[in-house]
Amino acid sequence: MKMSGAEMLLESLKREKVTHIFGYPGGVVLPVFDALYKDPSLQVILTRHEQGAVHAAEGYARSSNTVGVVLVTSGPGATNTLTGIADANMDSIPLVIITGQVPTKMIGNDAFQEADIIGMSRSCTKHNFLVRKITDLPRIIKEAFYIARSGRPGPVLIDFPKDIILEKADFVYPETVSIRSYNPTIQGNRWQIRKAAQTILKSRKPVLYAGGGIISSEAHKELLDLVTLTNIPTTLTLMGLGALPGNHPRFLGMLGMHGTYAANMAIHDADVLIAVGVRFDDRVTGKIAEFSPHSKVIHIDIDPTSIRKNFHVDVPIVGDARVILKDLIEELREISGGEDAFRHYQPWIEQISEWEKEHPLCYTFDKEVIKPQHVIEKIYQFTQGDCIISTDVGQHQMWTAQFFKFIKPNTWLTSGGLGTMGYGFPAAIGAQKAHPGKRVIAITGEGSFMMNIQEMATVVSLDLPVKIVILNNQYLGMVRQWQEFFYGSRYSSSFIGQSPDFVKLAEAFGMIGMRATRPEQVEDVILDGFSRRGPVLMEFQVDPEENVFPMVPAGGSNIEMIFESPGEKDDPKKRDSILTA
Amino acid sequence: MNPEIRVSDTRKHFIQIIVENRFGVLSRVAGLFSGRGFNIDSLSVAPGLDPSVSQMTIETQGDDHVVEQIIKQLNKLIDVIKVVNLSEFSFLTRETLLIRVNTNTRPGDREEAFRIVEIFRARIIDSSPATYTIEVTGDEDKIEAMLNFLKPLGIKEIIRTGKVAVAREDQKIGPKSAARLSDGDVNYHR
């Protein structure tokens, strides 16, 4: 039977077990939307902006470890997806983005709503395809899904010209996929794993440093097994939160710029660093020359380019984190003869608990003004971690990462690599679609929320019970914090106190709005808001000048953490000198 | 132990890449170099023996760490089938130039141009009353030497193919300097 390109696309998506498509219609993709209208087995989530559609697909993908699918039109529809695609590329989120394109014969003619999205997205996708022949379409879709979800996951874009959308041909979907130039390494090298095991056994002060790769490869069980066997203190990156339960006794908290004192000190003093599914990002390492200066480094990652890109490695192991951790545990069991072999880490663990006592994560509760950290703590107490949390980017993101204890993987959605304001709320929409029965909370700031605020219409029209928590401090808080520390408190363009009345805005969109202005109201608003059935917006008017601590100034060494704001008495010149250091 | 990646000297490298012979592959490779701040000193590309693949030769420079990243990043491109750093082997490079020189500036220039062409085993492929157009193929040293000889005549135009490179069949052949003598190319003084 002959099928049109549009029908072939939908049939192929179904073969890839797709059930939800995040998208926005427009000129050239009308035939695809028409086919979707006739086929109710694929559900379209209509967002109110294409950027929202991509972030929603990211939230869907990350919360369920599947591939998120986006469908948009050509030109502006396609270019609006770029920020989301770049975000997914940095954070290794598997997506397939289908963009409409003007008819093949008009490509290059500056046709209406034409954009060279293949050229534009080349550097922010894992791969992209322009469909040039209808008979190539099934293979391209098969390959796109395979590339998106295998190896180091990432976004793959398919540009789909209108004439091919309409053209008819026989549909043959390939059973298997094989790309001669793409074969990700899964199995780790046996000898390297043995070397890693020996290095770990010989160490006295080991630290595990794990990240988003654990979540992508579903290696959380293996990570827990490794920690249980060896008792090695473990720190997680921002993207890795939830990979080890946040209340695990060996969990040191997050590391890096806003990491815990214990995590950063442990990394610094470690003699062996076991890095798994991480890429030594500059927000993690701080000044690279002073990062973990005494350690032998074991680096496990599926992406060979991540190894030795930023940091030296003594034992590189390329492959899938889950497969390698399994082998590593087996190897350790074999050569160690059991848990007793790891007893000698005890003095190290005691040293670390001293650091934990010395500078725990803390804030000063205030009776008059709401502290943002207090709101996060109350949400944790209320949910006990049984929920999916998304955040935007900035202070609220760091406070959530610090004060919320993520117990399970895939329950934490945040924009790590690209740092995209506007990510969080649409991501929550996607997560809610993937987990209809689960409590999904978008924690955001008034600055970030405004960047994709139009998606309020999406949650209301789909009656998604997403709970929105705005920590409103009237500033672009992280910008203000840097200005306070490094720019002599000159708050250039960071005051945004003229925000709308969020409660009224929620009502205007058709959802419930609530507000807390005083600390004693926090608990009531959380109890009330979270017990409502539909979408609820909760605004917490928090201390405008609260800062995120600890903090490592950009380019500083991780052990030079600061725990308090530079006081009035400080010489402004001295502050400026921190910046240039 | 020094935690920083050990920095070695910046050296010239020849990288041979075999890619799918497909629409847009060259821009992926070129975009990778510009996007990540790597250098391209020369690049040549053409279909290989198997018409479904293309061969690229890229001349680049960097320390060991940069070159390691270049090779890894190239391998990461989906359309790249194989990457070889020829600089780890004994290899040959060649480049073809089309050079248009003045031959009538001073008396005797035309004869001088003809002699230089003879010495370097080049060819005159076009001639006008005031110029010769010369085709020459060789490695970097030969090309450079020939250009030095031609300069006094006045070079009007040079078109270069960019370098292509190939590893030697027998990798056990000794040092590169010895290898050059066996090229059968002209011996010249620098």
**Which site among B55, B78, B80, B82 would you substitute to test the A interface, given the most A Cβ atoms closer than 10 Å to its Cβ?**
B78
Average pLDDT over residues A50-58: 98
The pLDDT, as a whole number, for residue B175 is 43
Which pLDDT does position A339 carry in this prediction? 80
Question: At A32, which helix (H) or strand (E)?
Answer: helix A30-38
Res A256 pLDDT > 70: yes
Q: What is the pLDDT of residues A314-337, one digit of tens each?
A: 999 999 999 999 999 999 999 998
Rg of chain A over Cα atoms, rounded to whole angstroms, equals: 25
Counting Cα atoms < 13 Å in the Cβ hemisphere of A566 gives 20
Identity of the residue in A122, A179, A290 whose CB atom sits nearest the CB atom of B31: A122
Tokens matching residue A10 = 């939908």
Give pLDDT tens digits for B49-102: 999 999 999 999 999 999 999 999 999 999 999 999 999 999 999 999 999 999
Active site residues of A: 50, 112-113, 162, 478
Cβ contact, residue pair A304, B75, below 8 Å: yes
Q: Is the pLDDT of residue A581 over 90?
A: no
Q: Closest Cα of chain A to B106: distance in Å?
A: 51
Task: Judge: A304–B24 Cβ closer than 8 Å, yes or no.
Answer: no
Mean pLDDT across chain A, nearest whole number? 95
pLDDT tens digits, A332-369? 999 998 788 999 999 999 999 999 999 999 999 999 99
| pLDDT, position B188 | 31
A178–chain B nearest CA distance, Å: 12
Quote the minimal CA–CA distance from B53 to chain A in Å. 11
> How much is the pLDDT for B178?
36
Q: Report residue A565's pLDDT band, with 50, 70 and 90 as the boundaries.
A: confident
Q: Is A144 on the interface with B (CB under 8 A)?
A: no
Please tell me if residue B37 touches chain A, with a CB cutoff of 8 Å: no
Asked if pLDDT for residue A196 goes beyond 50, the answer is yes
DSSP state of A479: H
Interface test with B, best of A149, A181, A295 (most B CBs within 10 A): A181
Q: ipTM of this model?
A: 0.91
Compare A573 and A510 and report the one with higher pLDDT: A510
pLDDT band at A173 (very low <50, low <70, confident <90, very high): very high
Tell me: the pLDDT tens digits for A150-168?
999 999 999 999 999 999 9
d(CA A188, CA A328): 9
Closest by Cα among A304, A257, A262 to A279: A304
pLDDT of residue A554: 87
Per-residue pLDDT at B9: 86
* pLDDT value at A56 more than 80: yes
Touching check for B181 and chain A: CB below 8 Å? no
Per-residue tokens: B117: 């062409």
Contact B79 A123 (CB under 8 A): no
B3 and A182 in contact by Cβ < 8 A?
A: no
pLDDT for residue B171: 61
pLDDT, average across residues A53-67: 98
Structural contact between residues A486 and A570, judged by C-beta atoms closer than 8 angstroms: no
Query: pLDDT tens per residue, chain B (190 residues)?
Result: 344 555 678 999 999 999 999 989 999 999 999 999 999 999 999 998 999 999 999 999 999 999 999 999 999 999 999 999 999 999 999 999 999 999 999 999 999 999 999 999 999 999 999 999 999 999 999 999 999 999 999 999 999 999 999 999 876 444 433 333 333 333 332 2
Instruction: Please report the pLDDT score of residue B7 as a whole number.
Output: 66
Cross-strand partners of A161? A101
In chain A, what residues touch B28 (CB-CB under 8 Å)? 122
Q: Is A132 within 8 Å of B65 when comparing Cβ atoms? A: no
pLDDT given at position B173: 41
Q: How far is CA A80 from the centre of its chain?
A: 20
- Does the structure show a pLDDT above 60 at A515? yes
Residue in A132, A182, A311 closest to B5 by CB: A311
From the CA of A91, how many Å to the nearest CA of chain B? 16
- Distance, in Å, from the CA atom of A361 to the CA atom of A552, rounded to the nearest integer, reads 14
What residue ranges in A244-295 does DSSP mark as E strands?
251-254, 272-276
pLDDT at residue B5 in the model: 59
| Chain-centre distance for alpha carbon A393 | 10
User: Does the beta-carbon distance from B1 to A130 stay under 8 Å?
Assistant: no
| Contact: B3, A127; criterion CB under 8 Å | no
CB A515 within 8 A of CB A525: yes
